[in-house]
Amino acid sequence: MPKDRKVAKKWTADEYIDDLFQKKDAGKLPMPNPPFFLGMEVFYLPIGQDVLRDIDMKRYERLVSRGAVLQRRYDPTTATHIVSENGAKVTATRLGINSVLDIPEHIRTVNGAFLGHLVSCYGSGTHVRTLPNGRKDYENAHWPGREDFDDPKLAAFTERIKKIEEIPVAPPPQVRRRHGERRLSSPQPPARSDTEDEDEDPRFKRNPTKSRQLPTPSQSSDIISRSSSPGLPPTSSPTPYDDEKADSDPLAEFYSKAREEAELGLNDESEFVDYTNHGHKRGVRTITHTPPSVWSVDNPRPTASCLNQDIIDELERLHLIHSSRPFEEDAWRAFSYKKCIRNIKNHPIRIKNGNEARQIYGVGEKTASKINEFLTTGKISRITHELSKGDVAAVKLFTGIYGVGSHTAYNWYTLGLRTLEDVRRGKGGVKLSPCQETGLKFYDDINLRMPRAEAEEIFLMIKPIALAIDPKLSVDIMGSFRRGKADCGDIDILITRPIHDGKTHAGVMARLWAGLHKARILTEDLALPSNMEDSLECTYRGLCSLPVPDSRRRRIDILMLPWQYRGAALLYYTGDDIFNRAMRFKAGKMGYSLNQRGLYAGVVRNPNKRTEKTNQGNIVASETEEEIFKILGVPWQEPWQRVRGA
DNA sequence: GGGCTGTACTG
DNA sequence: CAGTACA
DNA sequence: GCCC
């Protein structure tokens, strides 16, 4: 926010955007919550043609600080919004199109007042938002909705309003407030009779009935007490770090905190400490969280690339090598390398030698010495050696086929197969399962990520089909979409249904499956639920595509669960995977067990085979994500903060 | 020297 | 049951 | 492969 008006520096749009992202990367841009522009990719057309005006700069900053990705050049394939006050003609000219009516329908066009409106309606974090017409919206609190776009005062071009009304409303950016109801998707509720079921609408609200005292995993007291950790180990209780002891040795403090952090990786990074300027004795400063994945995608500048990127690259190779081998030792080595990579990525200073590397949690003797070798000789002989064998490349190629894992891939390699063509021809007598056939056929598509907008578009076709089966269904899009990522590897849909009217969603999966195939949205099945017909709980995996020519196949998973498990299901299905493992790990350490149905206390495990449970335990939390976080002593984290991997 | 998440579907 | 996949 |  270069606000030095006195100096009156003249910025061009590109310069200013550069500057903003530089500041953001350096953690110097205030990032107020909530980031309700998260997931939006915006082309903002400045009022000032060559030199930005103050208002332009303010709007740029507003967009970036609330999570938007900015386009330097208008790109209709990825843009979600255009902000312009230049009038239809001028805008069209400057976008390089004939008419604003040529803007793809899904792109919202709004004027500059829109931004201020959103900030005033949603910026302070109130639950209840004020609609443009002055009324309060209690029901669909939190996120910009249809009315925000349809208000003629906020729309950029009245020409497009009609068009906008015709298209389904977009789900808001998938970010939640800390408190209050947690409605997942569209701010526009499905048509429903509002005479009944007052209690069901906030489908993911806090547990309304159950008593909330914290259950203890009492039945497993033997397990708990034998380890020195009590039910809630104080050491891992992830309260925000107190910042006062920043005096003596910031570096030492960094290590201890990094260690703590790395241990479970459950703490929100916003409470982590920014040491980037520790060398200037600036003391400790907390930074606000920036959702990294969103930035990484269309940020022209590679996001705050890591100081140790070269080392990471080598470790990635080691990880790849070990994950290519179908032996358990290798799997765990790969696991270790991954952890190592994560922690080094978060390491704020350049690693100069093996000893320094060794200080990082997760980096042991062996890795440290490899890093040392790399820093002194410029390469790691082990890597050169292993990669020369060629199995790694082949396995990586083959495991790109859905349904082919390291075992199969490695066997194929042993049989002499090297290319996908070899696989296709059935060289060495290899037979493909139906699922692998599909995986091979759509190899490229399946291994591509899709733009967030496409995931949304597909979801918005599926949702009404589901609601036509039963309007009371709760249908939400999860996974990386819910975490706010700008691109998604697949589409994850969670379906459940309130039980207050005594009815259930039994059989919905079968009908939905049929309906989606009929609508030509589902194209191939990969794994069908064992019991689509009547179970309340089942998983579908398959491929889908937009029912238009030349659209790519996309991976889709549909998960159905009983209503009472919705909190745990949200948690599970939102991920990311590393975050889930960390949560489950901590749950385990505390004597609980966590799965997609709930948090269980008093689980008794077979002492010989720990994964095997002698006693299933009692469910102590499952209806809301919050209660699970709370019981596990993990500070609440919004979906987009739950990123531990990539 | 044991643990490193916990589950569902395929064949 | 092993293998693969999902977050 | 790392950590306890």
CATH number where A128 lies: 3.40.50.10190
- Domain of A150? 13-160
Enumerate the nucleotides of strand C whose atoms come under 7 Å of any protein CB.
2-7
Beta bridge partners of A544: A522, A554
**Per-residue pLDDT averaged across A425-450, rounded?**
97
A173 pLDDT higher than 70: no
A180 pLDDT higher than 70: no
**Per-residue pLDDT averaged across A434-442, rounded?**
98
How sure is the predictor about A498, in pLDDT bands with cuts at 50, 70 and 90? very high
For tokens 């109130």, name the residue: A126
How sure is the predictor about A121, in pLDDT bands with cuts at 50, 70 and 90? low
A219 pLDDT higher than 90: no
A438 CB inside 7 Å of strand C: no
Checking each nucleotide's C1' against the CA of A382, the nearest proves to be: D1
The pLDDT value given to residue A110: 79
The pLDDT value given to residue A153: 67
* Measured distance CA(A442)–CA(A446) in Å, rounded: 6
Residues across chain A? 646
A454 pLDDT higher than 80: yes
Distance A579 CA to C7 C1' (A): 9
The pLDDT value given to residue A7: 54
Checking each nucleotide's C1' against the CA of A572, the nearest proves to be: C7
A16, A138, A192, A197, A280 from A201: Cα distances, Å: 43, 11, 10, 7, 53
CB atoms within 10 A of CB A304: 18
For tokens 């990525």, name the residue: A345
Strand D neighbours among A 542-601, CB < 7 A: none
The number of angstroms, rounded, from the C-alpha of A243 to the middle of its chain's C-alpha atoms is 29
The pLDDT value given to residue A50: 81
**Per-residue pLDDT averaged across A131-159, rounded?**
50
**Per-residue pLDDT averaged across A194-200, rounded?**
30
**Per-residue pLDDT averaged across A606-613, rounded?**
72
Distance A365 CA to D1 C1' (A): 9
The pLDDT value given to residue A367: 98
Question: Nearest to residue A588, comparing CAs of A220, A333, A239, A234?
Answer: A220
Residue A153 counted as domain residue: yes
A178 pLDDT higher than 90: no
Specify the range with the lowest mean pLDDT, choosing from A131-145, A389-403, A413-427, A484-498: A131-145
**Per-residue pLDDT averaged across A166-176, rounded?**
33
Distance A121 CA to C6 C1' (A): 37
A224 vs A47 pLDDT, higher one: A47
**Per-residue pLDDT averaged across A18-35, rounded?**
74
Produce one character per residue of A45-56: b if its CB has 16 or more CB atoms within 10 Å, e if not.
bbeeeeebeeeb
Enumerate the nucleotides of strand D whose atoms come under 7 Å of any protein CB.
1-4
Strand D neighbours among A 255-314, CB < 7 A: 263
The pLDDT value given to residue A67: 73
pLDDT in tens, A72-98: 888 775 677 788 888 787 887 787 775
Distance A336 CA to C5 C1' (A): 21
Specify the range with the lowest mean pLDDT, choosing from A198-202, A453-457, A587-591: A198-202
A111 CB inside 7 Å of strand B: no
Beta bridge partners of A541: A527, A557
A329 CB inside 7 Å of strand D: yes
**Per-residue pLDDT averaged across A538-545, rounded?**
98
A32 vs A191 pLDDT, higher one: A32
pLDDT in tens, A107-118: 778 787 777 766
Specify the range with the lowest mean pLDDT, choosing from A178-187, A401-410, A447-456: A178-187
Specify the range with the lowest mean pLDDT, choosing from A114-128, A307-321, A536-550: A114-128
A367 CB inside 7 Å of strand D: yes
Residue A19 counted as domain residue: yes
Beta bridge partners of A244: none
A362 CB inside 7 Å of strand D: yes
**Type and span of the H or E element at A402:** none
The pLDDT value given to residue A14: 83
**Per-residue pLDDT averaged across A237-241, rounded?**
28
pLDDT in tens, A499-541: 999 999 999 999 999 999 999 999 999 999 989 999 999 999 9
How sure is the predictor about A140, in pLDDT bands with cuts at 50, 70 and 90? very low
A490 CB inside 7 Å of strand C: yes
The pLDDT value given to residue A38: 63
Burial of A540 (0-12, 13-18, 19+ CB in 10 A): buried
Distance A197 CA to B9 C1' (A): 36
Specify the range with the lowest mean pLDDT, choosing from A112-116, A320-324, A443-447, A560-564: A112-116
The pLDDT value given to residue A137: 35
A343 CB inside 7 Å of strand D: no
**Type and span of the H or E element at A109:** strand A108-110
Q: What is the dihedral of CA A500, A471, A201, A494, to 10 degrees?
A: 90
Cβ distance A155 to A164 under 8 Å? yes
Enumerate the nucleotides of strand B whose atoms come under 7 Å of any protein CB.
2-11
Strand B neighbours among A 550-579, CB < 7 A: 577
- What is the average pLDDT score of chain A? 75
**Per-residue pLDDT averaged across A409-431, rounded?**
97
pLDDT in tens, A561-585: 999 999 999 999 999 999 999 999 9
Distance A310 CA to D3 C1' (A): 26
Q: At what angle do helices A13-25 and A54-65 cross, to 10 degrees?
A: 40
Residue A141 counted as domain residue: yes
Residue A138 counted as domain residue: yes
Specify the range with the lowest mean pLDDT, choosing from A22-31, A41-50, A115-124: A115-124
Distance between start and end Cα atoms, chain A: 29
Residue A352 counted as domain residue: no
Strand B neighbours among A 159-198, CB < 7 A: none
Distance A123 CA to B3 C1' (A): 45
A505 CB inside 7 Å of strand D: no
How sure is the predictor about A132, in pLDDT bands with cuts at 50, 70 and 90? very low
Distance A282 CA to B7 C1' (A): 48
Checking each nucleotide's C1' against the CA of A362, the nearest proves to be: D2
A386 pLDDT higher than 60: yes
Question: Which of A370, A463, A485, A586 is an active site residue?
Answer: A370
Catalytic residue flag (residue A370): yes
A228 pLDDT higher than 70: no
Residue A56 counted as domain residue: yes
Checking each nucleotide's C1' against the CA of A597, the nearest proves to be: B7
A181 pLDDT higher than 70: no
Q: Is A475 helix (H, G, I), strand (E, B) or coil?
A: strand
How sure is the predictor about A35, in pLDDT bands with cuts at 50, 70 and 90? low
A42 pLDDT higher than 60: yes
A574 CB inside 7 Å of strand C: yes
**Per-residue pLDDT averaged across A148-158, rounded?**
63
How sure is the predictor about A366, in pLDDT bands with cuts at 50, 70 and 90? very high
Question: Nearest to residue A639, comparing CAs of A18, A130, A178, A65?
Answer: A178
The pLDDT value given to residue A174: 32
A17 pLDDT higher than 90: no
Distance A566 CA to C4 C1' (A): 26
Q: Are strands A450-451 and A487-488 parallel, antiparallel or unpaired?
A: antiparallel
The pLDDT value given to residue A257: 42
Residue A23 counted as domain residue: yes
The pLDDT value given to residue A3: 40
A611 CB inside 7 Å of strand B: yes
A198 CB inside 7 Å of strand D: no
Distance A89 CA to B5 C1' (A): 57
Give percent of chain A above pLDDT 90. Answer: 49
Strand C neighbours among A 524-563, CB < 7 A: 541, 555, 557
A361 CB inside 7 Å of strand D: yes
The pLDDT value given to residue A481: 96
How sure is the predictor about A66, in pLDDT bands with cuts at 50, 70 and 90? confident
In 3-state terms chain A splits into helix, strand, coil percentages (rounded to 5) of: 40, 10, 45
Number of domains making up chain A: 1
Residue A43 counted as domain residue: yes
Specify the range with the lowest mean pLDDT, choosing from A61-75, A359-373, A409-423, A524-538: A61-75
A335 CB inside 7 Å of strand D: yes
Produce one character per residue of A380-396: b if its CB has 16 or more CB atoms within 10 Å, e if not.
beebeebeeeebbebbe
Residue A235, token pair as written in the block:
């050491």
How sure is the predictor about A311, in pLDDT bands with cuts at 50, 70 and 90? very high
A337 CB inside 7 Å of strand D: yes
pLDDT in tens, A588-599: 999 999 999 999
